[in-house]
Amino acid sequence: MSLHRLRSITIGVPSVDAVCAFYRDFGLAETRPGHFETADGGEQLCIAAAPHRALLELSVGVDDADDLGRATAALAKLGIEAQRDARSLRAVEPITGVRALLRVEPRVAQKPPTRIPINAPGEAQRVDARSPAVLAAPSKPRRLSHAVIGSADAPASKRFFVEGLGFRVSDEVPAFGASFLRCSTDHHNLLVQPGAVSFLHHTAWEMDDVDAVGRAAAAMLATDPSRHVWGLGRHGIGSNYFWYLRDPAGNFAEYSSDLDVIADDEAWKVAASTAAHPLAAWGPPVPGAFRAPLDIVAVAQGR
Ligand SMILES: [Fe+2]
C-alpha cells in the first residue's frame, strides 16, 4: 500500500482558544499555539480560526514520488486538478472543500505498550496484586486514528478519496450510506457519510487499551461533565472501544483502542453490513445528538 498513514488534520473553529484548551486537557501536547502533538505521531492536529466548525485539511503519508504521480493521474481522470512538487500533492475535495495533502515521508513504527496482566476464568495472570489499571494516571493519545465527515454528496466524496487518492474501502453501511476508508493498515482512517451539509462529525485518537480509554474520558468528565457524548462502548464495525466527548466548537473527539488492523487486502472481507449493530456491538443507547449533531443547522447557515 502506497498510502501508509493518516498524518495530520486541520480543524477550523470560531473559538480557537477554548478549543485549544480542550485538546490540551484531552492529552495532546501543544508544541506551538494551535498545533498539537501525539505521543507517537508527531504534530497531528492544527486548530485554525474559521467562521464555523469544519475539517479544513487532511494530510496523508505516502512512500514515494511514484505514489504522487499515480494520484495526480487518477485525480485528473475525475476532472480534479492537483498541485504537485517533488514530495507532495495538494488537491481539494470538491464537495466538502476539504484540502487533501499527500506527502512523502517515512513510516512510523510504534512501540507496544506494557501489557497489563489480566485475570480470566481458568487463567490468572495477576495473583496477590492489584491491577495496574486501577492505579495508573490518565495516559496520552498515541496517535491520530481517524476522522469522520458528513458530505452533501457522499458517493462523490468517496470517489475522490478512493479512486483519486488511493484510499481502500474496509466496510460499508448501505443503511447509512457510510463508507469506512483506510490509508494505512487501520480499519479506517476516514469515514464518509451523507449529510445535509458538509461537516466534521468526529476525530478519533488511539489509546493503549480500554482502560486507557476509560481513565482519560473519566478525567475529562471530572473537569466538565457536559463534555460527555457517548461511551463507553465497542463499535460493531472496526471493533474498537470508544468514548466520545464534545469540544467547545461542537466537534466530537473519540478516545479509541483495539481497532481492527488490515494487513492483507485479500484476507479481509469487505462487508456491506455486519451481524453486529453497525454503530455499537455494545454500549449505552446511541444518543440522538450523536447521529445528528444539534448544531448542524447553525453549521449549514455558517454560524
Ligand atoms: Fe470513530
pLDDT in tens, 225-234: 999 999 999 9
- How far apart (Å, rounded) are the C-alpha atoms in residues 36 and 108? 17
Q: Are 6 and 144 in contact, with CB atoms under 8 Å apart?
A: yes
* Distance in Å, CA 202 to ligand 1 centroid: 7
Per-residue pLDDT reduced to its tens digit, 246-288: 999 999 999 999 999 999 989 998 876 566 556 898 999 999 9
pTM of the model: 0.96
Structure-block grid coordinates of residue 110: 510504534
pLDDT for res 300:
75
Mark out the alpha helices in 31-95 (DSSP H runs): 65-77
* Distance in Å, CA 239 to ligand 1 centroid: 10
pLDDT for res 297:
74
How many C-beta atoms surround the C-beta of residue 187 within 10 A?
A: 22
* Distance in Å, CA 299 to ligand 1 centroid: 21
First to last CA, the chain: 40
Contacts of 48 (CB under 8 A, 6+ apart): 10, 11, 12, 13, 16, 34, 56
| Mean pLDDT confidence for 113-137 | 94
pLDDT for res 76:
98
pLDDT of 96 > 70? The answer is yes
* Whole-number CA gyration radius for the chain: 19
Mark out the alpha helices in the chain (DSSP H runs): 16-26, 65-77, 154-159, 210-223, 288-291, 296-300
* Distance in Å, CA 118 to ligand 1 centroid: 26
